[in-house]
Amino acid sequence: MKYDAIIVGSGFAGSVLARMFAEDGMKVLVCEKRSHIAGNMYEEEQENGVRVHKYGPHIFHTNNKKVFNFLEKYGEWYFYEHRVLGKINNVLVPIPFNFKSLELLYSQQKANEIKSRLLEKYKNVEKVSILDLVNCSDEIIKEFGEFVYKNVFENYTAKQWNIPISEVSKTVINRVPVILSYDDRYFQDKYQFMPKNGYTKLFENLLAHDNITIKLNTDALNYLNVSKNKIYVQEEEYSGIVIYTGQIDQLFNYKYGALPYRSLNLVFENYDMNYYQSSAVVNYPNEEQFTRITEFKYFSNQLINKKTTILKEYPRKYDYKDEKSIPYYAIISDDNLMQYKKYYNLVEKIPNLYMCGRLAEYKYYNMDAVIERAFELYEEVKENGKTEKTKRKK
């Protein structure tokens, strides 16, 4: 076998590691089962010329300078601050909920009362968790928290996860805070940029290295397998490094059952108009079956006259037996994490096998976090050789 490392998957986890190994002089093979690189960040052009994110909208944001400096080497980026509206009681209000949202939904007098209570209670605090608000001892704040919880969080979360909000992990609920000011940006991170020529171009640059060979339409599990704590490639034992970024349960043939995920039905629609909506994303927490509508021209900065493309996201069940079903979100619960751990115990016995990324580690990673994780894994592979591995972080 002529490769020093085999990388399964070409999302950020796989591509960043491939590049770093290649820079060190290692020969790297990247196997990608899809017909394209870039994992879930993949972008393609619609017939009308609008560039869309095929697997759902991806907005880059980070506070990690090292991550952003790394990405800057592989493409131009432009400053983009993401803004989202939500349809609440038939009014479009900023999400995360902020003081403007409050004023749009309450009378002026009531809005002023809530604002002053919030500012008094949370001095010098920029944002607060919805769970803090609903548990607050101040009755006015608690009532406000319950309003936001019911109208912004409850139905959206139930739609997204198909379970009552009470059963959803607190870390998921806390991803969207309530902002204690008029700041209407969806993210408050220091670096908020989008790749000028799209993510696909960025990945092309990232993987363009003489030491990297890419095989598309190649399901690694068709020729790589694990047996008796060793890795075999086409029946021959392989002692190089294997970075696996696919589903961990699939690697072990679902031996301990399929790990549960939530999937999405993504419906793209083209319109002959300049813009369909007044913001890049509009959330529909309540009446509609879809959770949000994304309009891609806000991201791509393309000057296309009288043409636009939107995406409606309908959450749905994931079925591991259906090849077309895509695992989007790991469903985090104690039971599911225990099931994951059983799989990870198998990985730990194989010295040259490393897990990286949202599917291999069964967790939600933002793009910057998965890149950070790839950096960390690179250091470990480099320093510790093939004997020590990081555990999946909580």
Ligand X SMILES: Cc1cc2nc3c(=O)[nH]c(=O)nc-3n(C[C@H](O)[C@H](O)[C@H](O)COP(=O)(O)OP(=O)(O)OC[C@H]3O[C@@H](n4cnc5c(N)ncnc54)[C@H](O)[C@@H]3O)c2cc1C
Q: Which residues bind ligand X (CB under 6 A)?
A: 8-14, 31-34, 39-40, 56-59, 219-221, 245-246, 328-329, 357-359, 365-368, 370
DSSP track, 140-208: HHHHHHHHHIIIIIIHHHHHHHSS-GGGS-HHHHTTS-EESSS---S---SEEEEETT-HHHHHHHHH-
Whose Cβ is closer to ligand X: residue 9's or residue 94's?
A: 9
Minimum gap (Å) between residue 12 Cβ and ligand X: 4
* Tokens of residue 48, six digits: 């009308």
Minimum gap (Å) between residue 360 Cβ and ligand X: 7
Query: What are the residue ranges of helices labelled H in the chain?
Result: 12-23, 65-72, 99-105, 108-121, 130-134, 139-148, 155-161, 170-173, 199-207, 248-251, 297-300, 334-348, 367-384
Minimum gap (Å) between residue 278 Cβ and ligand X: 20
Minimum gap (Å) between residue 111 Cβ and ligand X: 30
Whose Cβ is closer to ligand X: residue 141's or residue 192's?
A: 192
Torsion region of 236: left, alpha or beta (phi above 0 gives left; psi -120 to 50 gives alpha): beta
Would you say 215 and 30 are in contact if contact means Cβ atoms under 8 Å apart? yes
Classified as helix, coil or strand, 210 is: coil
Whose Cβ is closer to ligand X: residue 212's or residue 359's?
A: 359
* Tokens of residue 334, six digits: 């104690």
Q: Look up residue 40 and give its DSSP letter.
A: G
Minimum gap (Å) between residue 33 Cβ and ligand X: 4
Minimum gap (Å) between residue 154 Cβ and ligand X: 21
Whose Cβ is closer to ligand X: residue 385's or residue 393's?
A: 393
* Tokens of residue 75, six digits: 């493409």
Whose Cβ is closer to ligand X: residue 141's or residue 202's?
A: 202
Place of tokens 């029946």: 235
Whose Cβ is closer to ligand X: residue 141's or residue 280's?
A: 280
